[in-house]
Amino acid sequence: MDLSSQRQAVDGQVEVAFKVNGTAERLRVDPRTTLLDALRERLQLTGTKKGCDRGQCGACTVHVDGRRVLSCLTLVAMVEGREVTTIEGLAEDDQLHPVQRAFIECDGFQCGFCTPGQIMSAVAVLREGHATTDAQIREAMSGNICRCGAYPAIVEAVKQARS
């Protein structure tokens, strides 16, 4: 009986194979490791930020198979076989993603700590296609807290990137 596709070793570690920004990765991890910690501590992808680490602030937002999720509440063992996109994976060579450009042009941030999460959310909002009005954009972006209060410029950036 194949109880598990991911065999747990005697030392308690699990192996997980997944793609990050198009690159195949294979890690041996303590099952407690979150996707956020794996990205930051094991793969040195520190663009994804740890804010609350409790699923309340959105700073750790990444895409898994194209959907925005919170990497702080995702165990990395659970992304076996999946494709993860982080803020580092948005630009193509020297060309920033249109949403990244819009955040710069609209001043969509102050301290910048929440910005990678804001941008990953905004890219998803445009792809999801449910937000047209300002109110709808604010609702669609409500899972990303900005302690500096750059919200009006964030809404402007989402609108500019859409057009």
Partner 1 sequence: MRAFDFAAPRDIADALGLAGDTSAYVAGGTTLVDLMKLDVLAPEQLIDINRLPLHGIRLGPDGLRIGALERMEDIARHDAVAACYPLISQALLSSASPQLRNMASIGGNLLQRTRCGYFRDVATPCNKRAPGSGCPAQSGDNRGHAILGTSASCAATHASDVAVALVALDASVRLRGAAGNANARADGERTVPLADFYLRPGDTPHVENVLRPGELITEVIVPPLEWARRSVYVKVRDRQSYEFALASAAVAVDLRGGAVHDARVAVGGVGTVPWRLPAVEAALRAGQSHEAAAALAAEGARPLAGNAFKGTLVQRVILRALTELAGPR
Q: What is the DSSP string of 20-62?
A: ETTEEEEEEE-TT-BHHHIIIIIS--TTS--SSSSSSS-TTEE
State which of residues 107, 142, 148, 152 lies at the interface with partner 1 (CB under 8 A).
142
Of 56 and 95, nearer to partner 1 (C-beta) is 56
Residues 6+ apart with CB under 8 A from 89: 20, 21, 22
State which of residues 17, 28, 80, 112 lies at the interface with partner 1 (CB under 8 A).
80
Determine if 140 is a binding residue for partner 1 (CB under 8 A): yes
Binding site for partner 1 (CB under 8 A): 1-6, 8, 12, 14, 30-32, 34, 53-55, 58, 61, 67-70, 73-75, 77-78, 80, 121, 124-125, 128, 130, 138-140, 142-144
